[in-house]
Structure 1
Amino acid sequence: MNDSKPTPSFWKTPFGIGATVIAVAASIYLYIEHRNHLLALLPYAFLAACPLMHLFMHRGHGHGAHGHGQRDDTPKRD
């Protein structure tokens, strides 16, 4: 019988909470002190988000494993 407790989520650990607080504080500082610069970069951030979302959202779909119109009936290995 295994009585070990499951490991908590990263966000619930002291390091995760501290990292979140620091990230929020840094974000507030950047917004207050560099508002004009951040607002000027906003359109570029949106344009950069599109290809990044495309790359990360297609992860694990198996693209490139077979050609168009072909069906892959082989079982996938984990």
Structure 2
Amino acid sequence: MRSESKNQPNESWYRSRGTVIVAMIAVILGFFIIREHWEHLTGRWIYLLLLLCPVMHFFGHGGHGGHGKSEGSNEQNS
């Protein structure tokens, strides 16, 4: 007998049952951690915002190649 699973499309990793369960547990734990430590976080939110700026700058340059390079520049002329 043939297996019926060959006719079914492969399920994405983010739609699998295990990933959904782990994500739900992470959201619930995150809620309770934030709720318990909210008073500590509210006094330091401005520092968290300032820390977010260099983190966003570091991870945000993946698509365009970085600073100081134009589309027509030649790296061999350095």
* TM-score normalised by structure 1 residue count: 0.63
Answer with 1 or 2: which has the greater Rg: 2
- Cα RMSD, aligned residues only: 2.7
- Using the aligned pairs only, state the percent identity: 28
Selected match of 2:12 from 5, 8, 14: 8
Identify which of structures 1 and 2 has the higher relative contact order when contacts are C-alpha pairs closer than 8 Å and 6+ apart: 1
Distance 1:32 1:24, change over 3 A: same
* TM-score normalised by structure 2 residue count: 0.63
Which sections of structure 2, spanning at least 5 residues, go unmatched? 1-6
Which sections of structure 1, spanning at least 5 residues, go unmatched? 74-78
- Which structure shows the bigger proportion of residues in helix conformation? 2
Give runs of ≥4 in structure 1 deviating > 2 Å: 3-7, 67-70
